[in-house]
Amino acid sequence: MPPSGETRTRSTNAITTANATTRESQAFLSAFMKEQGLEATYKLLKQGRLSTDDEMMTVIDGVVQRSPTGRYNAALQTNQGPVVLQGAERTDRRSTDPQMISSRSSRSIDSTVDSIELTVDQILCQLTDASANPPASLICMVELTRFDPSQNQTLLPLLWQYILDHRDSNNCGELVAVASAIRKYIAIMPMDRMGELAVLLETGHRSQLPIDLEIEVAKMIYRNFEVYPPTAVDPHPELAQRFWERVQAYINPLVLLKDKHSAITSLAIEAIVAMRSPLAEQALQTAAKCPYRWFAELVNDDLEELQRKWSSKNPSAENWLRELQNNIFADVLSSKPGV
């Protein structure tokens, strides 16, 4: 619940209690940051949208510094005490063409690529020769390499086969490479083939795609439609249906706060909307009815940004999105803040 405005009195011997509260706040923020990334966490803190068990948490002052490793450290003074966040990943969602995005900035899983200088042709040749079992380092190298359109046609089936062959792996290094392959594959694949990705989210597969990989799929699909708004309504209904299944499975309040479920749930909702699926209204209503107000606000903020990106690219899509948001979120987000 938000602060009532009443002054909280503390006895002179409450130092232990204060320290315990600080530790709880630290644990809460660390878990949320691991799930959503530092940027989203800091944004919600500044806007007073994060809630612990009994009150909203807001930032009073703080500093964020980038470490030599590329991760971020933050020292924040909040209304619930000081909090230090270390080793955070920044999780931007940029509207740059996915094919132009520096892959290093979009990874949710750390990876190490061998520092071997190879030409584009050599990389493609090695990948072809490796057949069904290329080394993980080579896949990661592929992600960091720009290929021309003709080379993309050779690369796409090789990446797709690697994804299908290794998606169920228990090897951490291979899963890092699968995430890398997914990002590259979706970045360079034709927009009219996006529907093929529904195979990765099928419920009938022998094992569910790891949640980190689900996030990569949803994130990259959303980015593509952010840059290239669909000219027709519902271009990939099966893909939208797979995302809707994820939303229904993860929106449960007992599930949403676990691991990275709120990240994949918000991305799945936004991907459904970005594809202009008939499921968009249901998906947004699900977000609006979520007992965690910050979740609805997070989705709404991202879609307001999508509106801005679409305004110069597809005005009719932008108008559709604005009307949809106004119909569903206007009353919910104008009401008294809750959890």
Query: pLDDT for 125-147, tens place per residue?
Result: 999 998 778 999 999 999 989 99
Sign of CA dihedral 138, 144, 148, 149: positive
Q: pLDDT tens across 209-255, in order?
A: 999 999 999 999 999 999 999 999 999 999 999 999 999 999 999 99
Nearest to 270 by CA among 315, 235, 231, 307: 307
Alpha-carbon separation of residue 165 from 52, 73, 142, 159, 282 (angstroms): 42, 37, 17, 10, 34
Nearest alpha-carbon partner for 29 in 93, 71, 75: 75
* Cβ atoms within 10 Å, residue 1: 11
pLDDT tens per residue, the chain (339 residues)? 343 444 333 333 333 444 555 555 566 666 666 656 666 666 666 555 454 444 555 555 556 655 555 555 666 666 666 666 666 554 444 445 555 443 333 333 333 334 456 889 999 999 999 877 899 999 999 998 999 999 999 999 999 999 999 999 999 889 999 999 999 999 999 999 999 999 999 887 777 899 999 999 999 999 999 999 999 999 999 999 999 999 999 999 999 988 789 999 999 999 999 999 999 999 999 999 999 989 999 999 999 999 999 999 999 999 999 999 999 988 776 664 555
Give the full edge-to-edge strand order of the sheet including 81-88.
Answer: 59-66, 72-78, 81-88
Cβ proximity of 99 and 188 under 8 Å: yes
Backbone φ and ψ for 82, nearest 5 degrees, come out as -75, 145
Q: Please give the share of the chain, as a percent, with pLDDT higher than 70.
A: 63
Q: Please list the residues that pair with 88 across neighbouring strands.
A: 72
Residue spans per domain, the chain: 15-88, 98-334
CB 202 within 8 A of CB 255: no
CATH number, domain 98-334, options 3.55.50, 1.20.120, 1.10.3210, 1.25.10: 1.25.10
Give CA 295 to chain center in angstroms.
13
Amino acid at 76: L
